[in-house]
A and B are shown apart, each in its own frame.
Chain A
């Protein structure tokens, strides 16, 4: 006869098997190519920044959640992703304590204060970066040429910096590709052999990660495409070299890994489109008119603030497509 250990709950009684942890793991794997390349470019110091940042992010989340007596859920790997992202958008010569501080700020101020996983209104890694950028502007803007020791002698301006300081695109070519040939410069930028943040330089490897995430359907293509596309078009309209603008700096990295952050970006398709376009536009405007050479951080953070409103742009529901019901004129009039 029927056993008494039967489970009772409302249907459905099936599950895909893709859980939060697997999604975060996919993001980590997608970040690996550019992470490894960052270590190849800058050696042990970059590796130490990465390890410090990840470790302090995980430790901060565990400690904070334990402190406020919530379930410690570092197993979902979201803190690993945040820590890794903070490291990848930092310069390789960043002092380790600053890297740790950035990660801790990202986790505690940007994420846990708002309720933890899924509840952060702003991208935690970008908040961490913004805090570091304001607190330690020098350390956060000291760049080094790839494939060398990170000493004072090897500091090198980023391509966007060179242009911001009045240099030409050809100057950048001479600096990083050793040639004023435009095609060579673009190829060098695409491969990523240039100074910059640890993980942002190689467009090629970022796209590899993007393809991986798209194949697993972890991220959508709307936001990144809208962001990069808008940066491209607006750079062009504002009189900057659009191809150079997209290949240098962090716009591709930001579009693929930051603007697609689930919690801080809109969830609806139309919202994603506007979010991406807005972030791209702000990036281009900051690059052209702002005091900083790069505007990706603030472009995304500012759009994060708008994301909840963009969620109002929902798709048409099933059964509403042919015509709105004429039975509701009162509601229309009330609006």
Chain B
């Protein structure tokens, strides 16, 4: 099979070898979970429980009205100890429900639902009620993606199996171990959207899973319209826009969404979660992620209840060389945030927890721009990072906008390739906020 790809990008060292062969370990017994109330991208939701309440595994503990909301469920059975602000994996404090296990293991799942005979609205409601959000990292509500406005016809469902971030192997393991869930989830989504075609975009460093995936597709009752497409192993191949362009040749218009080019993209984990929400009635309460990094002595792929605090897994399940840990990242090293501690819960969108040592977490002083143009070649959005950098430094936000500041997907490839260690994407993040603030101000002034 020929491999497809997009223009630009780079090849960060993959560093997946330590975990890519390791079967997923399932961990259900944890003493305590800290479940952030707001884990999704959208409108905030409110807790439905209070301190002292008895909760069952799978019981809804937070929700709100509104389209861009997704409920959150208790991931273990136990007693709500308190509800208080805690550090989340996005480096901000947010309200979290702390549940202490009572060991009863009581479950409160939804009844199973046949995704192929139920009504469309019923299916969408199930996906929402199961609390499913994009598990690749952004946490976009899944049901919103699956209910596009009528003027945006969808013709392709894409499973994002690129997993282009270094270290991370959880999606790869899910595909290897639960290919039927992936196919089933895709088939349900295709039915909900009324789409006849589905494609799994797989980076060719995982080509050895191709046969197993195709076998699962063949074996599935409703897998006939799903194909697997190999993609060149290149960062950020798993960026939604890059994936769509690689697979279809179309470009998502500036400021637009995948649905503007007839695509719906979900991560492998999201499809698996959707399959479970129908077959088992199980909400998204368990999260698989990769634990790795040079300071981690026991790299592995692990599934834990959402809200499990990583430090509570040390040293029983994760052994660290604590002295050597220099950087803790939730997610992948290219886009994941660095945290000041690993006493932070695993969330629905946590794909990895990395403990980097000094050799992996180097810090460099910013040098002068050579104008070598490496960032321009690497930019997957074909922006001009070097010129953006100049205009933001000069506080010329109008120029920055014209060069495409708001089109930046913040993949970090420019900073990765810069020989002068210039904090390009970092500066663009700040620039974006400044530009948005400026626009808001102008809009207010115009409104007066």
Contacts and interface: CB of A to CB of B under 8 A. Distances in A.
- DSSP class of A's interface residues: helix, strand, loop or mixed? loop
B323 A3 contact: yes
A18 B360 CA distance: 15
A317 B327 contact: no
A15 B414 CA distance: 10
Interface residues of B, number: 68
Contacts of A220: 373
B387 A14 contact: no
A318 B372 CA distance: 21
B260 to A, nearest CB: 9
Contact of A13 (B245, B322, B329): B329
Contact of B419 (A3, A18, A318): A18
B252 interface: yes
A315 B382 contact: yes
Interface string B242-261: 00010000011111100000
Interface string A156-185: 000000000000000000000000000000
Nearest to A19: B419
A218 B373 CA distance: 10
B420 A20 contact: yes
Interface size, A (range): 35 or more
B333 A20 contact: no
B382 A1 contact: no
B362 A15 contact: yes
Contacts of A320: 251, 253-254
B308 to A, nearest CB: 16
A175 to B, nearest CB: 41
Contact of B371 (A9, A10, A262, A318): A262
Interface string B369-389: 111111010001111101100
A293 to B, nearest CB: 32
A7 B361 contact: yes
Contact of A115 (B342, B368, B380, B382): B368
A20 B367 CA distance: 9
Nearest to B425: A12
A16 interface: yes
A7 B370 contact: no
B327 A319 contact: no
A23 B374 CA distance: 11
Contacts of B338: 6-11, 13
Nearest to A5: B326
B143 interface: no
Interface string B1-20: 00000000010110000000
B42 to A, nearest CB: 23
A14 B376 contact: no
B333 A12 contact: yes
Contact of B342 (A2, A16, A117): A2
A314 B403 contact: yes
B341 interface: yes
A12 B343 contact: no
A268 B376 contact: yes
A333 to B, nearest CB: 17
Contacts of A115: 368
Contacts of A311: 387
Nearest to B375: A267
B371 A317 contact: no
A267 B384 contact: yes
Contact of B370 (A5, A14, A263, A318): A263
B416 interface: yes
A118 B166 contact: no
Contact of B325 (A3, A8, A76, A321): A3
Given A11-B335, A318-B241, A76 B367 contact: yes
Contacts of B420: 19-20, 118
Nearest to B12: A14
A119 interface: yes
B253 A319 contact: yes
Contact of A318 (B327, B341, B380): B380
B205 interface: no
Nearest to B427: A10
B417 interface: yes
Contacts of A268: 376, 384
B341 A6 contact: yes
Contact of A322 (B253, B341, B383): B253
A33 interface: no
A118 B370 contact: yes
A124 B404 CA distance: 32
A13 B361 contact: yes
Interface string B347-362: 0000000001000111
Interface in A303-335: 311, 314-322, 325
Contact of A14 (B328, B334, B367, B371): B334
Nearest to B241: A318
A55 B189 CA distance: 68
B94 interface: no
A315 B245 CA distance: 17
A318 B407 contact: yes
- A-B pairs with lowest CB-CB distance, top 7: A12-B412, A2-B341, A319-B254, A318-B381, A10-B426, A13-B333, A118-B368
Given A12-B333, A20-B367, A318-B252, 14 more contacts: A2-B328, A6-B341, A8-B339, A10-B425, A13-B336, A13-B356, A13-B361, A16-B419, A23-B419, A118-B370, A315-B384, A318-B383, A325-B253, A325-B254
